[in-house]
């Protein structure tokens, strides 16, 4: 095997076509471009894994429910799992961009490389790794989803109505079981233009629309569902951290879709009780003072 240089680009010639297109694994790993790519891949993988573990929580919002925190954890896990794949793609691109760049006007276009032939080892490895990765992601997602399908018979019922371009809420007549065994009686339906929820009380949202499809998205509760006219979409969560957040619309619904958001908060039992009591006279409730903080 001999080689000649053309402005730093090595072109190797081979004794046989088979040796050219399917050199042994040992020889492949010792090719300069393969080694370089592996080094870059390793560095990017380490960076991606560390970023997934330590940076993801920094950039994700503060969540007020177990479902929300599960969503953040899922993003972290999926980022770590995807890091080697993304790193490989980036490594090949980066190494090629640097090593095979056009250096001067004297450079001649490179000759075509050897024809590609199948490599059972590479194809098989890629298939197995991809399958294992997808199965892992699927299993993780299904496990998280199934854990959120618990139905609480005594959940606080909140009817959510979307219309262009505001969310409105109605707390129907019910008896709410508060932490510690206390109960709160809501004798008749109370309407509100903001969403207040008592801490540590399971909530069931019954979501619908008066006109077009909207997306009910209480950002820091970790749940999201469509609001379709004539359909009751049920969403469940148990807020367990105090704090304010907003409810947005996640389905484009017309002119003021971007402005379709309302104030929301997870509040102590006493605050929720006092707030609901104001609605007994038929007044539409608005925002109440909340206490921000983590448990």
Which residues contact other proteins (rule: CB under 8 A)?
Answer: 161, 163-166, 168, 191, 193-194, 210-212, 229, 244, 246, 248, 254-256, 258-259, 261-263, 282-284, 286-287
Q: How far is CA 138 from the centre of its chain?
A: 14
Task: Find the shortest distance in angstroms from Cβ 32 to other proteins.
Answer: 26
Give the separation between CA 225 and CA 232, rounded to whole angstroms: 10
- Tracing tokens 């002119």 back to the chain, one arrives at 255
Output the smallest distance, CB 263 to other proteins, in A. 4
Convert 106-119 to b/e letters by CB count within 10 Å (16 or more is b).
eeeeeeeeeeeeee
How many angstroms from the chain centroid is the CA of residue 20?
45
Instruction: Determine contact, residues 208/162, Cβ cutoff 8 Å.
Output: yes
State the nearest-atom distance from the C-beta of 211 to other proteins, in Å.
Answer: 3
State which residue, 140 or 165, has the beta carbon closest to other proteins: 165
Beta carbon nearer to other proteins, 37 or 209: 209
8 A C-beta contact, residue 239 and residue 199: yes
Beta carbon nearer to other proteins, 19 or 191: 191
**What is the token pair recorded at 78?**
């999926």
Nearer of residues 12 and 252 to other proteins, judged by Cβ: 252
Q: Which is nearer to other proteins, 133 or 288 (CB)?
A: 288
- Report, in Å, the least distance between residue 276 CB and other proteins: 16
Q: How far is the CB of 294 from other proteins (least distance, A)?
A: 20
CB of 23 to other proteins, least distance (A): 37
Torsion of CA 263, 216, 171, 271, to 10 degrees: -30
Nearer to other proteins, 56 or 164 (CB): 164
**Location of structure tokens 């809420």:** 169
Indicate the DSSP class of residue 22: S
């Amino acid at each position: 095997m001999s080689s000649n240089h053309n402005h730093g680009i090595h072109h190797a010639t081979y004794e046989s076509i088979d040796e050219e297109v399917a050199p042994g694994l040992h020889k492949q790993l010792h090719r300069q471009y393969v080694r370089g790519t592996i080094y870059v891949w390793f560095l990017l993988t380490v960076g991606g894994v560390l970023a997934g573990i330590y940076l993801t929580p920094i950039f994700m919002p503060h969540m007020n429910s177990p479902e929300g925190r599960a969503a953040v954890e899922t993003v972290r896990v999926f980022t770590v799992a995807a890091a080697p794949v993304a790193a490989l793609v980036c490594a090949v691109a980066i190494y090629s961009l640097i090593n095979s760049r056009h250096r001067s006007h004297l450079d001649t276009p490179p000759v075509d490389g050897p024809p590609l032939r199948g490599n059972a080892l590479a194809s098989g490895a890629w298939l197995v790794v991809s399958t294992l990765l997808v199965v892992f992601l699927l299993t993780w997602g299904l496990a998280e989803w199934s854990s959120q399908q618990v139905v609480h018979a005594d959940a606080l019922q909140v009817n959510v109505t979307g219309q262009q371009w505001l969310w409105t809420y109605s707390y129907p007549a019910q008896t709410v079981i508060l932490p510690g065994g206390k109960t709160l009686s809501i004798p008749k339906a109370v309407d509100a233009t903001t969403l207040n929820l008592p801490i540590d009380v399971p909530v069931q949202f019954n979501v619908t629309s008066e006109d077009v499809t909207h997306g009910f998205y209480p950002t820091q509760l970790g749940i999201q569902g469509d609001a379709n006219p004539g359909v009751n979409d049920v969403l469940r969560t148990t807020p367990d951290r105090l704090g304010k957040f907003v409810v947005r619309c996640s389905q484009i619904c017309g002119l003021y879709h971007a402005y379709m958001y309302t104030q929301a908060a997870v509040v102590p039992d006493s605050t929720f009780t006092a707030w609901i009591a104001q609605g007994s006279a038929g007044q539409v409730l608005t925002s109440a003072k909340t206490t921000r903080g983590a448990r």
